[in-house]
Structures are given as C-alpha cells and as structure tokens.
C-alpha cells in the first residue's frame, strides 16, 4: 500500500524565568512543516531546532517541552489511523493511544499527536485499524527524542540506533522525529 504522510510540527517550550524583577512562565513556540513519502529506501528525519533565546531564559530546571504532530495519510475509507506508544523493539500497546484526534480515512484524515513531560525518548508507531478494531497496517518504529538544554546535557544518553547520521553534532536543543523504514506494509 502506498501511503503519503504529512507531518506538521509545533514545539511549545515552557520555562520559568527566575531572578531580577521577572518571575513568570513564558511560552516559546517554534513551528515547521514538511511533507513527503516515507519509504524503506528513504528514511526521513524531521528536525526542529529550539529557539536560541531559550538558553537565555532557562532556570536550573529543564523546561517542559510539548511537541504536537498532525498527520494525514492516504488510506482506505473506513479505516482509522492512530499513534501508539511502543517499546524499543516496536511492540505496540494498543491500550496506550496518544492520539487526541482519530483519523477517519478519506472522510477526514487529520490527527494530532501530543508529547509532554520534558527531556526523554519516546517510541511511537502509526497504526491503521479497521472498523472491527483489528490492526491492519502498522508503521515501523518511530523515535521521538527531545534534547535537553546544554546545561542539562550531563545525564542525557542516546542509543546508537536512535541517532541519524548528520544529527549527532546538533542533537542538543532539538526535537528529532525519525520514521525509520516507516512504510505501511
């Protein structure tokens, strides 16, 4: 099955300003968009660099980072697309959906995926389910990595399979979404 997946990314960073006369919570939003066809021959990495101004307002505590991904895909009418958390081996727990909107095939193909909780690594999968709630198509593993601010990088570790070539030197202050081999088969 040939699928084209469109991702629209928005990162919202909340950080507390301490010291001086300012003591408030600020919201910083960075947005980008990309579209393309994910095939096994073309692994795709979508990188969003957090604003440079982030480093100037951070307190000693890492910020809370929320990433919102909206997806749209060509799939048979009557099927639903959902995103699920899975383990690093790609095993999907269908009780843990992380999609706040369910896609509705050709009737309405948009969905929103929300990550929150700050620094860390999350494994996700896109799953197409039919009306009987059977899994029909499943993407391969996607890795969502939220980088720490530079002053908090000490205890942050990445497993080698999660770091795409060319990203190593820029991994701090990035949200990286790497659909590895993400064709629905």
In a domain, residue 59? The reply is: yes
- Work out the pLDDT band at 162, boundaries 50, 70, 90: very low
In a domain, residue 10? The reply is: yes
Alpha carbon of 17 to those of 13, 49, 53, 101, 157: distances in Å? 13, 21, 12, 33, 27
For the chain, how many structural domains are there in total?
Answer: 1
pLDDT at 95 over 60: yes
- Work out the pLDDT band at 91, boundaries 50, 70, 90: confident
14 is in which domain, residue-wise?
5-179
In a domain, residue 140? The reply is: yes
pLDDT at 106 over 50: no
pLDDT for residue 132: 60
In a domain, residue 184? The reply is: no
User: Of 54, 123, 116, 60, which Cα lies nearest the Cα of 93?
Assistant: 123
Q: Where are the alpha helices (DSSP H) in 38-123?
A: 54-57
14-39 confidence digits (pLDDT tens): 333 333 332 333 333 344 333 333 33
Percent of the chain with pLDDT over 70: 1
Question: Which position has the token pair 């947005």?
Answer: 31
In a domain, residue 185? The reply is: no
Query: How many helical (H) and strand (E) elements, i.e. helices and strands, does the chain have?
Result: 1, 11
In a domain, residue 51? The reply is: yes
pLDDT at 107 over 50: no
Task: Judge contact between 124 and 86, C-beta under 8 A.
Answer: yes
Q: What share of the chain is helix, strand, coil (3-state, %, to 5)?
A: 10, 45, 45
| Alpha-carbon gap, residue 123 to 34, rounded angstroms | 20
pLDDT at 89 over 60: yes
| Alpha-carbon gap, residue 78 to 107, rounded angstroms | 8
The pTM for the full model equals: 0.35
11 beta partners:
30, 67
In a domain, residue 72? The reply is: yes
Task: Judge contact between 184 and 3, C-beta under 8 A.
Answer: yes
User: Of 103, 100, 99, which Cα lies nearest the Cα of 77?
Assistant: 103
50-71 confidence digits (pLDDT tens): 444 433 343 444 443 334 444 4
**Phi, psi of 7, deg, nearest 5:** -120, 135
Segment 108-124 mean pLDDT = 44
């Amino acid at each position: 099955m040939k699928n084209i997946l469109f991702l629209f990314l928005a990162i919202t960073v909340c950080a507390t300003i301490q010291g001086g006369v300012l003591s408030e919570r600020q919201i910083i939003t960075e947005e980008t968009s990309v579209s393309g066809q994910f095939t096994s021959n073309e692994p795709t990495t979508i990188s969003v660099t957090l604003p440079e101004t982030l480093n100037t307002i951070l307190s000693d505590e890492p910020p809370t980072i929320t990433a919102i991904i909206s997806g749209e895909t060509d799939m048979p009418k009557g099927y639903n697309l959902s995103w699920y958390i899975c383990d690093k081996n790609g095993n999907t727990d269908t009780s843990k959906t992380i999609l706040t909107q369910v896609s509705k095939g050709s009737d309405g193909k948009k969905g929103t995926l929300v990550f929150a909780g700050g620094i860390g690594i999350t494994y996700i999968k896109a799953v197409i389910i039919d009306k009987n709630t059977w899994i029909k198509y499943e993407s391969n593993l996607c890795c969502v990595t939220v980088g720490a601010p530079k002053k908090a990088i000490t205890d942050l570790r990445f497993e080698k399979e999660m770091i795409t070539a060319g990203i190593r030197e820029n991994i701090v202050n990035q949200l990286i979404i790497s659909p590895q081999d993400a064709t629905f088969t």
